[in-house]
Structure 1
Amino acid sequence: MSRGVSKSEELYGDFLRELREIERKWQREWYERGIFNAEPDPSRPKYFITVPYPYVSGPPHIGHGRTFTIGDIIARYKRARGYNVLFPIAWHITGTPIQSVADRIMRGDPEDIKLYSWYVSLYVSDENKVKEILESFKDPWNIAKFFASVYANDFKAMGYSMDFRRQFTTGDPDYNAFIIWQYYKLREKGYITQGSHVVLYSPDEGQAVGEHDIRGGDEITIDILEFNLVKFKIEGENRYLVAATLRPETIYGITNVWVNPSIKYVVARVNNEEWIISRPAAWKLSYQGYKVKVVGEVSGEELVGRFVMAPLINRRVPVLPASFVDENTGTGVVYSVPAHAPYDYVALMDLKNDEKTLSRYGIRDLVKDLEPISIIKLPNYGKYPAKDVVERLGIKNQGDKDKLDEATRIVYREEFYNGVMNNNTLFPGMKVEEARKRTIDELMKVNAWGRIYEVEPRNVYTRSGNPIIAAVIKDQWFLNYGNPEWKEKAFKCLNSMRIIPERYRKNFEDTFHWLSMRPCARKRGLGTRLPWDPEWIIESLSDSTIYMAYYTVAHKIKSSPLAKELGDFARRVIETRGGDSEALNAIMSFFDYVFLGIGKASDVAKIFNVSEDLINDLRREFTYWYPVDERHSGPDLISSHLSFFIFHHVGIFPEEYWPRAITFNEFVIREGMKMSRSLGNVLPLPDIPRHYSSDLARLYIASAADLETTLDWREDDVANTASRLQRFWVIANDIIRRGKPSGVGGLSFISRWLLSRVNKVIVEATEDMERENIRAYALGAFFGLLSAVERYLEVASVSGVGQDEINWVTWYVLERWVKLIQPLIPHIAEELWHRMGNETFVSLEPWPEADKSLINEEVDVAINLVDRVISDIQEILRVTNIKPKTVHLYVGPPIEYYEIVKEASRLINEGKTMGEAIRSIISEPRFRRMSNVVANLVSKYIDGTIPRNIISRDVEIRVFEEMRRYIAYKVNAEVVIQDATKPTYDPENRARNALPGRPAIYIEKQ
């Protein structure tokens, strides 16, 4: 998994090693001096930005690197724009992931021992020390402590401008007190309930599980499906063959019941009835509110050929064999509706043609007369929609599972939304959607209905490797996100927030709509115990909703007696199940005052035996920094953490403290593939400063993809970025080495062009950063400006621009450039800033201000005009294969031509046709005798021969005269600039062809 030398290091090793030294140097300076430690300052506007704290069950990787780097770029930009920025960090350790790791290491799991040995070796080179640390990981707290400490160092090594004083872990005793306060506030509002609801559950671990507890839970969407159970009484017995279906309204079209002959079914006594179902179904039902006892066993083969009675229609139907029936889905029994279920149709056709099976079970006569029964009318389909779709997709048999799944989705969707029940059902003419509900009601009346819950996808496991099922848990604690009042406030907050990119807003809206009962506690793992019922531990995402408030005061709590006092009070509350009123009152009084302004500082100070000034100071910190101005994250957290973040804020805090913005970036892949341990392509964050450079990685992360696009880390592209970074480094140091002259006189066109360009880039970069268009900012402020400076140096040196002028202009540019790119590559910017003789930190310098008086569109057009002419000459030489001696450029036709083109531009932009523009211009007395010229110029303006933007005749002549030597250099020939109205040499009368913005060209051969 990503160790060794990177391609960038192979190609630019010396340069990158120099950068790493520079990075370490400035990190020491920044963090030892605490320049990013944020203190309230009422004289300055504040900006509070957070990124979700990482779960520290292992080292960070480049995916973390992308999200935190983008967050840091924003933080640095806001700081440069004059904001007092708080960018804090903490460490998430609660839940089962860390506990599961400890359990697996305790058991000697070879895969985890190998993995965590590698993790530790990223930071520790001594093999004996690695083994010693790994042994300590049998205690989950040691895992949390180790990775929390190395995370902080990894983030410092990336140059993140964080206030590291405010660190805490979610297992700290004082943090437990904060969570106790949060949960009592939610309980007071009626947002926490206890009851029986269906949840994701691990029977082996005996608890409900959340996303953090599930292996890959942050990468997959997990749903709970409700299957209907339909009971078929077995002919001649007092037992039921129980089938599971998502479509109970299709019971009217039943032809038979399917079982898998290779399955061993069980006879289970379920709520005083005997059911025949699969063994996994009996196990699942025992967790879903049914009383289940297995009393026997029967093979699928024994059931084939038996008859059962279909409820509601009282039709006698046979039990037949089918290989597609899965014992792990539903009950392992399926009733067959071949007219409307593709699997059933294909299975019936397969069976009709399977002489061996028909003979083996003696069911030939039973099967040969079975035909689909149509019960639903569907527009644009025949009598049997399942048959239509099976034939359209070219499905051959039951083994064609992917196509059958697709066929099932098509038929089920079409029939649900567009189907109408036939006359051979209980509800003729009724839409399928309504008939489903009514059929369930009828099945319930005859005691033929039940339900079973399934997890989708099927094979989901906890981080400890235990299976997860859907279970109905009694006395489970829930956050009732379905509370109408709470949901309404959450929507109000969402509607007031910036969401960037905006397209993610709908994800929030969809999540808010379906959010209802969310289990908020479980029975094992690390975390804060539910204070009034401490057998339960508050679930890992449920304790991570308003912790941003704790950032505002954590450093002052931990540096005072408050941390110990709060921890002691939390312990007492939990030990007494909330019965210690003194301890509970202390916690509630403290946080009520600090975060809500309820009560008196003097009373709180007295309880904790601290100064009133300290308590008021905490309140001032909170009121200064709150609300959260921006939460930057990955979109995978929308359906859980980020939605909870909004709900809990509106549930506890007044509106003035509701969050203001949530921004996103997508994920990272590597060389076109998703990063995974199995592929061995994970790129750990600690490898970045070792095998690349932090600034190189930051530059690549920012420039390689838009925030809403997956970032593909490709070694070739990273190496190309290193090449441009090295070029910038060389140019910047050359500028510094030459020094800054005291001043210069008049400036050349090319110098004025670069001054215009840098000020224009400042304007554009500011606009991009305000919109958080990070990639556009990186491409313009670094790569675009680098190309402009390279072009300037080439043109200026060839055109004879004086060295003092070059030095003055490039120093002017570099002074602003270094400030402009410090959010992007802060270590390099800091080093260059100090090499320029500055003693301040560029990380704290204000954003460069654009001098708009130097932005000159005419100069830009003039330089682009020269480039176009060079391109025209080069194309002529390529096509004719001429070896040029002299190139004559006839520049500047009569001034009236320029006036005509400008008037044509105005008229065309107003929507006039070519004819209308020509007639309008000719109607002016001064152009009346120039009708042919006018028609020619307007035509050439429209077809693009004449550029859309032209400059004055005088400026056009001057720029070509000034850049004559550069043109000669680019075309490798002598260049003569001639006034097109009075040429001194024009053997082929080319001057008459000169147009505004398009000089005529005559080339003399060698």
Structure 2
Amino acid sequence: MNSVKVNETLLAELRAIEHKWQCYWYAQHTFSTEAPDEPQTSRGKFYVTFPYPYMNGRIHLGHLFSASRSEFAVGFHMMVGDYALFPFGFHVTGMPISGAAKKLAAEIELYGIPPRILADDSLDRPEKETVSDKSTLDKADTVGQFRARKSKVKSKASQKLQWEILADLGVSRVEIPKFVDPYYWVHYFPRLCMADMQRFGARVDWRRSMITTDANPYYDAFIQWQFRRLYKGGYIAFGKRNCIWSPADGQACMDHDRIAGEGVQPQEYVAVKLEVLNPREQEITNPRNKDFLGTLWEHQIPDGMPVYLLAATLRPETAVGQTNCWVHPEGEYGAYYMVTRDAAGTIERDGGWVAICSARSAENMAHQGYSEKFGVPDKIMTVSGRDLLTMLVKAPLSGYSTVYVLPLETISMDKGTGIVMSVPSDSPDDYACYSDILLNNDGIATKYGIDVDVMLKPFEPLPIIEIAGEGTMYAARLCREAGVRSQHDRKLLLEIKERCYTKGFYDGKMLLGPYAGEMIKTCKPLCRQHLCDRGEAIIYAEPEAEVISRSNCKCVVAAVDQWYLMYGEPAWRAQVEKNINEYLRTYHDEVKHQFLRVTETLHEWAASRTFGLGTKLPFDPQFIIESLSDSTIYNAYYTIAQFLQGDTLDGSRGVFPINVINDAFFDYVFCLSEEEPQEFLEFLADPANMAMARKRLYVYHVNNAQIARITEPRQLLEMIRRSFRFWYPVDLRCSGKDLIPNHLTMMLYNHTAIWEDEAFWPRGMRANGHLLINDQKMSKSTGNFLTAAEALDRFGADAVRFALADAGDGLDDANFKMETAANAITKLMNLLTTTKDILSEEKGRIIDRAPYTQSEVVEYDHTGTTGVIVADCVFDAFVNDSVLRAYEAFERCAFRDGLILTFTELPRTYNQYLRACEAAGTKPARYLVEKYAKLHTKLVAVICPHIAEEIHQHVLRGKESIFRSPLPSYEQLQEAAISTSRYLRISEYVDAVITRFRMRYNDSTKPRKDGSLAYPNGITAGRVYVVSSMIEWQRELTTFLAGLYTDEGFPKTVNAQVTEFIKTSLGFTGKEIQKAMKYAANIVTLAKTQGPETFITRYPFSEKAILGSYSFAICSSLGLKSLDVYNVGEGPDPETSCSAASLGKPIIFFE
């Protein structure tokens, strides 16, 4: 990892400031908030959540980046005066913790405490060491440090010991053995995560934090309630369904249980049965296959048992065009006994058959009911691809009843069955290889002993699909047009394959087979069913990409009895799509498109498992609810958690007995029933219980007044219900984009299922990319990795926040630059110093100047005589405009844009104001500097709250937290920006003039043709001439042209109309007409690029006064020592020399 230099002195000062304000916020409960009794209509409501992180370790900088989006958003809404809430929970459901605990227990059993492997690397178990043997343990180990350590004893296995992983996370070796209990993890890491987030200065209401699983009885009851409602509503069912399955764990492997393959779903194929033709006869007549077939029958395959090559395809309709079958000549296959089952799953007595396929596909099939024993392939023998070449097989539906098995060297043995139907008419890959063998390219036919005249030439490609506008044999044509030379032109073939398949699916019509005349998109499922009904194919599934479970097992697809959520059910899906289309703000159009694509593909979801931590399925307690399924509507739980858990993460000191927090309670508080929960009210009817509840719930500065008003049970019940009703719906959910295919879409599904009232459906979801560090992927193995704690140790909270905001806001990967974080330390401390300095009474940097009045502005506009007004009004206009734009950027979660406006554009404007005042011979106005400092500090608070609180309370003398001193309303900011927007043109004008003068300067300093210089001693001074007012005829002609101009430009008759105007209205003749026409032509040309700005006939300010006030900026840009500004006709240069000057375009002469 790149090292960067950090100013340790400034960092220590910044850390001290951060610690001080974190203690202050904690003591004052600054970020704890309660739903008001009667919300003020002038204040908005903002509720943001973030997917709770999984607690099998410390959070890293990537977690902090995603969480920061929610954190910045809630900070902004606090700064605009909204009721704003950001809760933060901790996820411990699922297999990873249980698996890690189990792994650690096995290591301790095998290697002792701490694990010791003998020097000869044998796996013999050494003598055990007990926890009580303290002398062997390193007492100096501390929690919280993440650094690579070399254990005294280390396994040579490629995978780290679980003991080492925990040691790397900073867990002391005394404490590591306790982690054999999975519930120890549940309570250990959430505390560390909370500490990290508090050091970050997270604006979180920690009263609402919780852990999941049955370790928290209140959350456990909430999840059970949710699943009972889903079950009653018909959203969850039981049956045999395909799912991603971990053979090692013996259960479904959902997204959170994977170390690779998150989001991967089962992919269904049609496996077409290509029957080996008369296998006993081929054993005799085909010497090539004799050894293989002879060996196969030595295994006593019953006479008459069919043998099939299984060819997996996603395009069953193309079976009618088979010309041959492909195998990988160097591939390893196997022959397997398969069974046929009836609808009840019973094996049919005479339904046995032999499949030849890859071992990988056979394992998947064994988990899908095709083997006698679940998950165990019944292998007969290994078969090589060469053994299968030239074999004759039956081709179901093909125009050729039998075809040969031929070699295809580009077959992937990791996809499908390793056997492929060849349809060269409509598959570019097939056509390329067909042509290679036909032409014996690279001697391929000779190499594999293919008799082309017998095995290929008689099997010409068949025109099976006609594509509108393209004809037939589309794959062959695409290959020729693209210049495909062989089957190894992978890039070209990949490009045209997608075109061929997409065009064929949407625009193709079948010409052959049982569905001739039907469109492909219509007959594809019909053909699939036709093949299966005739026993000529089976349905086979495998993961669409590799999936590795957290137990390091390669997963398969299994058809198992399970409880599953019926995602994708048409009526339910329609509700989700309504939520997306009508209510959900996604901040990026692509996010909305991704959600809609996911609704097309997300189907039944296995909701239960048998191993791991979690909540038992209430209607079938032998199962545990899996980790994504218990994480969909917990945003609702946050709204009431502070009333239940008693300020504990696990509810161990809960406010109410768990038996009264039942379905009736949840139904009522979540506005799903008007029937009050009697058990809850009966408990509170006891005065002692009511007094205890009031005492436990009381939080000074937060709800003390509300609790004081509660005198009877229904009032407390209504307070709880009001909390949900006020905060819901969720206004924003921030997450990594990788959760769109599962968690985020499932959140939409479950909300629409639980709440029919659309008012409670989610309103916003913002996705972000992954986080890079210094332009490189985060990786522990390369060392380019930071935990949250390490980042905070190295840079402090506000500097980390600054760099996270700067990292990026889009869906592409963001980039945390350590140099940016290091520089931010100096930037933030300089901000504090300069704010103190400018406002210091002792140093007298500012003066008490009355605000500019409208009459002074009018006088200035017309005469330019009030010199100081230009600096004041331009600065005021820029502050108003920049603050408004920063507000808008933060509101749309464009935090990098807001950061740039806050930390770059506003300070630059301020520095320019200081220089403008200096040039005018005065000091900045106190009222403007204080206005700037207050507004700027409030914007700084969105990203860097610690330094902002320091400035607000200790420099600007704020009487309470900056989060209780919001920005002006958007309407007020907008009104202020509009009222001063005219003066933004002053800055735009100065910038344009400097650009033009810079071009003039560059031209003037270029060597002449003879090599000499116009200014051999350099340019040190300049004389500027401005046009004080437009010549009358130019003004009239410009105004006339403005009347002809529209959004589409000028009419075609513009020249004729201008000529007529010049002659009749202006009364010009002769050369005057030519001069005016030239001027008009210039205006017409400029209008093409400048638009309506071209027709300005009078600036709302004195150009001479402006350039005089900003002469310092011109001199700085051009490197001049002095600059004089004149009206044309006033300076030392004759008026005739200044004819190039025009309104808004002064000229400059150099000395």
Aligned to 2:1024: 889
Following superposition of structure 1 onto structure 2, how do residues 873-888 of structure 1 map, counting pairs within 5 Å? 873-881=997-1005, 882=1015, 883-884=1018-1019, 887-888=1022-1023
Contact 1:268 1:277 in 2 (8 A): no
Q: Deviations over 1:922-945 (max 9, x none)?
A: 866799999788656655555559
Contact 1:174 1:567 in 2 (8 A): no
Aligned to 2:1120: 972
AA at the equivalent of 2:768: N
Provide the rounded CA distance (Å) in 2 between the counterparts of 1:871 and 1:401.
52
AA at the equivalent of 1:186: L
Aligned to 2:392: 307
The answer as to 2:245 corresponding to 1:160 is: no
The answer as to 2:286 corresponding to 1:235 is: no
Q: Deviations over 1:321-348 (max 9, x none)?
A: 5555555544444344444444444555
Displacement, 1:273? 1.7
AA at the equivalent of 2:928: V
Q: Deviations over 1:630-684 (max 9, x none)?
A: 2222332222112221221221223332222222333323344433344442333
The answer as to 2:105 corresponding to 1:85 is: no
Aligned to 1:575: none
Q: Deviations over 1:162-213 (max 9, x none)?
A: 1111110112221111101111111111111111111111222111222111
The answer as to 2:910 corresponding to 1:793 is: no
Contact 2:363 2:556 in 1 (8 A): no
The answer as to 2:950 corresponding to 1:831 is: yes
Aligned to 2:564: 478
Aligned to 2:504: 415
- The sequence identity of aligned pairs, in percent, is 26
Contact 1:230 1:448 in 2 (8 A): yes
Displacement, 1:998? 2.6
Aligned mate of 1:31, from 13, 26, 32: 26
Aligned mate of 2:668, from 579, 589, 593: 593
Following superposition of structure 1 onto structure 2, how do residues 302-701 of structure 1 map, counting pairs within 5 Å? 302-312=387-397, 315-320=401-406, 322-324=408-410, 328-347=414-433, 353=440, 366-367=454-455, 369=457, 371-379=459-467, 385-390=474-479, 408-422=497-511, 425-457=513-545, 459-474=546-561, 476-494=562-580, 495-559=582-646, 563=651, 587-596=662-671, 597-606=673-682, 610-611=689-690, 612=713, 613-653=715-755, 654-701=757-804
Provide the rounded CA distance (Å) in 2 between the counterparts of 1:893 and 1:663.
52
Gap change, CA 1:466 and 1:966, over 3 Å in 2: closer
Greater Cα shift, 617-626 or 344-353: 344-353
Provide the rounded CA distance (Å) in 1 between the counterparts of 2:523 and 2:771.
46
Contact 1:990 1:1000 in 2 (8 A): no
- 5+ residue gaps, structure 1, are 571-582
Gap change, CA 1:667 and 1:46, over 3 Å in 2: same
Greater Cα shift, 265-274 or 984-993: 984-993
The answer as to 2:364 corresponding to 1:284 is: yes
Aligned to 1:756: 877
Gap change, CA 1:964 and 1:662, over 3 Å in 2: closer
Aligned mate of 1:744, from 817, 825, 849: 849
Aligned to 2:182: 140
Contact 2:751 2:761 in 1 (8 A): yes
Gap change, CA 1:806 and 1:303, over 3 Å in 2: same
The answer as to 2:995 corresponding to 1:847 is: no
Q: Deviations over 1:908-967 (max 9, x none)?
A: 654556755686588667999997886566555555599756754872233344445665
Displacement, 1:256? 3.7
Aligned to 2:1103: 956
Contact 1:422 1:428 in 2 (8 A): yes
Gap change, CA 1:904 and 1:265, over 3 Å in 2: same
Greater Cα shift, 928-937 or 332-341: 928-937
Gap change, CA 1:419 and 1:969, over 3 Å in 2: closer
Provide the rounded CA distance (Å) in 2 between the counterparts of 1:436 and 1:116.
53
Gap change, CA 1:182 and 1:740, over 3 Å in 2: farther
Contact 1:173 1:566 in 2 (8 A): no
The answer as to 2:17 corresponding to 1:22 is: yes
Q: Deviations over 1:738-781 (max 9, x none)?
A: 46867214644122211121012122223333333333322223
The answer as to 2:381 corresponding to 1:297 is: yes
Gap change, CA 1:397 and 1:997, over 3 Å in 2: closer
AA at the equivalent of 2:369: G
Contact 2:361 2:542 in 1 (8 A): no
Provide the rounded CA distance (Å) in 2 between the counterparts of 1:767 and 1:927.
52
CA RMSD of aligned residues (A): 3.8
Displacement, 1:590? 2.0
Aligned to 1:175: 219
Contact 2:104 2:162 in 1 (8 A): no
Gap change, CA 1:999 and 1:741, over 3 Å in 2: closer
Provide the rounded CA distance (Å) in 2 between the counterparts of 1:206 and 1:965.
76
Contact 2:244 2:254 in 1 (8 A): yes
SS of residue paired to 1:296:
strand
Contact 1:741 1:808 in 2 (8 A): no
Gap change, CA 1:173 and 1:918, over 3 Å in 2: farther
AA at the equivalent of 1:630: L
Displacement, 1:64? 2.3
Provide the rounded CA distance (Å) in 2 between the counterparts of 1:567 and 1:809.
52
Provide the rounded CA distance (Å) in 2 between the counterparts of 1:358 and 1:965.
84
TM-score (norm 1): 0.87
Provide the rounded CA distance (Å) in 2 between the counterparts of 1:236 and 1:497.
61
SS of residue paired to 1:292:
coil
Contact 1:342 1:408 in 2 (8 A): yes
The answer as to 2:1033 corresponding to 1:903 is: no
Greater Cα shift, 678-687 or 379-388: 379-388
Contact 2:58 2:787 in 1 (8 A): yes
Displacement, 1:489? 2.9
Aligned mate of 1:767, from 888, 892, 901: 888
Greater Cα shift, 730-739 or 377-386: 377-386
Aligned to 2:939: 820
SS of residue paired to 2:765:
strand
Displacement, 1:94? 0.7
SS of residue paired to 2:201:
coil
SS of residue paired to 1:471:
strand
Greater Cα shift, 321-330 or 145-154: 321-330
AA at the equivalent of 2:592: R
Following superposition of structure 1 onto structure 2, how do residues 57-68 of structure 1 map, counting pairs within 5 Å? 57-68=56-67
- 5+ residue gaps, structure 2, are 108-154, 281-303, 341-350, 691-712, 853-867, 1006-1014
Gap change, CA 1:412 and 1:724, over 3 Å in 2: same
SS of residue paired to 1:972:
coil
Gap change, CA 1:365 and 1:709, over 3 Å in 2: closer
Contact 1:338 1:348 in 2 (8 A): yes
Provide the rounded CA distance (Å) in 2 between the counterparts of 1:359 and 1:766.
71
Provide the rounded CA distance (Å) in 1 between the counterparts of 2:1031 and 2:69.
54
Aligned mate of 2:258, from 179, 199, 214: 214
Provide the rounded CA distance (Å) in 1 between the counterparts of 2:444 and 2:847.
100
The answer as to 2:319 corresponding to 1:251 is: yes
